[in-house]
């Protein structure tokens, strides 16, 4: 039986700049290492709801779906760097008395959990990174377009999601991408709709989101990389294979052939099988 709850942490003193992260917990009766899930840019814990529930059942362990800073229900703060996100996660783990969790991150969340593993390797038992190689990559210009389009929607003071979608469609033809972005839309007291993410902060952070510090960084524990076979982030795994192996010497790459960047949304069963197999191997 699962208990779904939303709780926020209190802060300790790992970093004066860490923030309290919002999360949903999907409980099990097992004492296996919990799994913490971190979403990508413009995502939230909400995007992982169905898969997190399935993981709690299939993996028989507690699952924490987390909102990273400036996303979902977590606080907005000007600093949006991977170092800051890692401090948030380390504080979150300590505050919730979570013992040696497995960290899973998609896209931006992947870089956040890798940075956490580098900073506190004794805290993180295993690592799963979905469709994000540990290298610096230029963020697609689409994201800057999304930020401007979302600002345009707010300025128009729309009252219906359909109105917001019509404006967003001028910039993004893919309905799936539009629906993903519009999960951040919330109705205000005056009836107008506004995005719950801080658009200016995230817009200014885009170049940093694409970057990744790699110098003298090594994480020796088991690491699973999952890439979408049709994703633009798959080729860099091959191009930087030697560098990645130096940083993550105990890692392996699995490719989901018929998936783009949102691998877990497009092929959830495949991702669940890969994660389950990886964690079962862990127990042997």
Query: Hey, what domains does the chain have and what are their CATH numbers?
Result: 4-137+211-283 (3.40.50.1820), 141-206 (no CATH)
Residue ranges of E strands in the chain: 4-8, 22-26, 35-38, 63-66, 102-106, 126-130, 185-187, 193-195, 223-228, 251-256
Cβ atoms 19, 77 nearer than 8 A: yes
pLDDT of 28 reads 83
pLDDT of 9 reads 35
Contact residues for 190 (Cβ-Cβ < 8 A; gap 6+): none
Nearest residue to 224 via CA among 108, 59, 113, 93: 113
pLDDT of 138 reads 87
Q: Please, what sign has the CA dihedral across residues 6, 12, 17, 18?
A: negative
pLDDT of 16 reads 54
Q: Which residues of the chain have pLDDT under 50?
A: 1-14, 283-284
Q: Give the SS3 label for residue 42.
A: coil
pLDDT of 13 reads 36
């Amino acid at each position: 039986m699962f208990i779904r709850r939303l709780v926020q942490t209190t802060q300790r003193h790992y970093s004066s700049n860490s923030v309290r992260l919002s999360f949903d917990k999907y409980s099990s009766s097992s004492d296996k290492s919990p799994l913490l899930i971190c979403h990508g840019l413009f995502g939230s814990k909400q995007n992982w709801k169905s898969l997190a529930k399935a993981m709690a059942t299939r993996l028989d362990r507690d699952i924490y779906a987390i909102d990273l800073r400036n996303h979902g229900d977590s606080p907005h703060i000007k600093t949006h760097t991977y170092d800051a996100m890692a401090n948030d996660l380390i504080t979150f783990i300590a505050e919730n008395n979570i013992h040696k969790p497995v960290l899973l991150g998609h896209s931006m969340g992947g870089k956040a959990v890798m940075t956490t593993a580098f900073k506190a390797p004794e805290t993180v038992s295993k690592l799963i990174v979905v469709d994000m190689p540990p290298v610096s990559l230029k963020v697609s210009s689409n994201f800057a377009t999304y930020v401007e389009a979302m600002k345009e929607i707010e300025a128009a003071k729309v009252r219906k999601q359909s109105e917001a979608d019509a404006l967003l469609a001028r910039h993004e033809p893919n309905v799936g991408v539009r629906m993903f972005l519009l999960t951040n839309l919330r109705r205000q007291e005056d009836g107008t709709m506004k995005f719950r993410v801080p658009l200016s902060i995230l817009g200014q952070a885009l170049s940093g989101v694409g970057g990744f510090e790699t110098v003298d960084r090594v994480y020796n524990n088991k690491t699973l990389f999952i890439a979408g076979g049709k994703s633009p982030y798959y080729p860099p795994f091959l191009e930087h294979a030697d560098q990645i192996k130096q940083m993550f010497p105990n890692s392996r790459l699995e490719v989901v052939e018929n998936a783009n960047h949102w691998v877990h949304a497009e092929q959830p069963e495949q991702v669940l099988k890969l994660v389950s197999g990886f964690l079962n191997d862990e127990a042997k």
